[in-house]
């Protein structure tokens, strides 16, 4: 069993560049966990236990089989995440007992509690075993005691792990590369970005240097201005989308817009039924929805969504009328996170925005975003790219962006977002 386990770990973690590129994971956590195939002898024992359970309700109690199951489950879980959440562990236990009812445990809720605890502790032991093998796994190394900071009381703090369903939160360096060779790639990028029609070379170097960039972002938590200076090629629309895909494996624009468009009809119905203060703010926006083309309708839905969730649209979007871009930048110099929209003068025929940008920590990180909706999805890309937290006053809005529009970490939702989700599916 140990030899099989070692082989599986190597295949999961130390893939060559030709097989997986610089990322060590290629899929997000599944919407339904699939129980892996166990070894031949374990499978025989499980099938026999399954028949015995069907015949007379006999439960399987075999420590050797349990140990083998946990080892294989740990390998499979690690292929998705090193630090599974309680909800994810529950999903694994549910899938296991659903497939093999003979593994239920008497006296625990749904026969799952014991398996949840075993899987939780097994993952801790599994991570420790990988560290003991001295494998280069940055997402484990970053949480070793010698790397973590300590509070005044002497307890470790600053535990770093994915919090927004990041698949490649801290990937290993590409095969054959070191921090020194990748730093050279970064310096070359500073030169390449000055050349025209050089997108292909920039893409290749950005892909290659991804692991180095994530170490900086996650380990050092640099200010946005420092990142703009060190990685200027990152802060353009195409590269934000590419970086988001490296981190999550998801296509940012296609996923966000397809889900938004799929829910549009239902969202409009839900918004129109909204009463109270939020309904009063939403109604004037909905009155003009049919006058707009598709981008305009999407923008209205974005603005209505914030109000519907009981949050303030002004916390996310700041509108300006007929003002220079430089004046907007100056006015937003103290904004932590904001989408700015410059509208044309009233005298002009069109009322579409003429300039939309994304502000982070007072700096304009993306300009000419074309629409509010495009700025919203790009802002999500920036948040993942530079490992930012969601603003507390907009937590439900960003939860909808993440879990309903991008379908990341959909197993656990707040009561408010879950209620909206149910209405959308009704």
Total Cβ atoms within 10 A of residue 285: 16
Helix, coil or strand: residue 358: strand
What single string gives the DSSP state of each residue in 275-321? -HHHHHHHHHHHHTGGGS-HHHHHHHHHHHHHHHTT--HHHHEEEEE
Please provide residue 24's backbone torsions phi and psi, each rounded to the nearest 5 degrees. -100, 0
User: Of the spans 2-16, 67-81, 318-332, which averages the highest pLDDT?
Assistant: 67-81
Long-range contacts of 50-57 (CB under 8 A, 24+ apart): 50/100, 50/101, 50/102, 52/102, 53/101, 53/102
Residue whose C-alpha is closest to residue 23's, from 206, 171, 161: 171
| pLDDT (tens digit per residue) in 373-394 | 999 999 999 999 999 999 999 9
Say what the pLDDT of residue 37 is: 95
pLDDT above 70 covers a percentage of the chain that reads 89
pLDDT at 365 over 70: yes
pLDDT at 19 over 50: no
Residue-range domain boundaries for the chain: 2-141, 179-247, 252-425
Its pTM stands at 0.87
H and E: helices and strands count for the chain: 20, 6
Rounded average pLDDT over 23-32 = 83
Tokens of 223: 């200010």
First to last CA, the chain: 48
Residue 377: partners with Cβ closer than 8 Å, 6 or more residues away: 252, 253, 256, 257, 401, 405
Say what the pLDDT of residue 322 is: 83
State the chain's maximal CA–CA distance in angstroms: 82
| pLDDT (tens digit per residue) in 208-258 | 999 999 999 999 999 999 999 999 999 999 999 999 999 999 999 999 999
């Amino acid at each position: 069993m140990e030899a099989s386990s070692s082989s599986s770990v190597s295949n999961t973690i130390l893939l060559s560049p030709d097989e997986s590129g610089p990322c060590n994971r290629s899929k997000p956590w599944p919407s339904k966990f699939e129980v892996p195939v166990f070894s031949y002898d374990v499978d025989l024992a499980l099938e026999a236990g399954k028949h015995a359970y069907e015949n007379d309700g006999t439960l399987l109690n075999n420590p050797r089989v349990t140990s083998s199951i946990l080892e294989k489950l740990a390998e499979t879980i690690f292929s998705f995440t090193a630090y599974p959440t309680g909800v994810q562990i529950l999903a694994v236990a549910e899938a296991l007992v659903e497939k093999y009812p003979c593994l239920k445990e008497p006296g625990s809720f749904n026969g799952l509690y014991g398996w949840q605890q075993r899987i939780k502790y097994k993952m801790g032991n599994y991570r420790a075993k990988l560290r003991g093998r001295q494998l280069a796994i940055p997402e484990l190394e970053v949480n070793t005691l010698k790397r973590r900071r300590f509070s005044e009381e002497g307890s470790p703090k600053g535990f770093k792990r994915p919090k927004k369903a990041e698949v490649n939160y801290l990937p290993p360096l590409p095969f054959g590369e070191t921090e020194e060779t990748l730093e050279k790639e970064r310096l070359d990028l500073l030169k390449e970005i000055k050349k025209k029609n050089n997108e292909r070379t920039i893409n290749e170097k950005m892909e290659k240097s991804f692991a180095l960039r994530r170490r900086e972002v996650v380990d050092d938590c640099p200010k946005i201005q420092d990142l703009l200076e060190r990685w200027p090629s990152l802060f353009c629309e195409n590269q934000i989308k590419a970086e988001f895909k490296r981190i999550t494996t998801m296509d940012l624009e296609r996923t966000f817009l397809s889900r938004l468009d799929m829910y549009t009809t239902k969202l409009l119905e839900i918004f129109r039924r909204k009463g109270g203060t939020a309904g009063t703010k939403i109604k004037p926006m909905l009155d003009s929805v049919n006058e707009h083309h598709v981008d305009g309708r999407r923008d209205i839905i974005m603005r209505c969504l914030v109000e519907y969730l009981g949050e303030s649209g002004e916390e996310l979007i700041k509108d300006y009328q007929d003002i220079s871009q430089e004046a907007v930048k100056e006015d937003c110099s103290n904004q932590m996170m904001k989408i700015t929209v410059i509208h044309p003068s009233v005298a002009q025929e069109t009322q579409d925005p003429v300039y939309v940008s994304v502000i982070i920590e007072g700096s304009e990180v993306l300009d000419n975003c074309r629409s509010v909706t495009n700025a919203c999805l790009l802002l999500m890309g920036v948040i993942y790219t530079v490992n930012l937290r969601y603003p507390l006053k907009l937590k439900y809005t960003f939860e909808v962006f993440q879990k309903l529009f991008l379908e990341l970490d959909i197993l656990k939702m707040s009561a408010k977002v879950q209620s909206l989700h149910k209405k959308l599916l009704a």
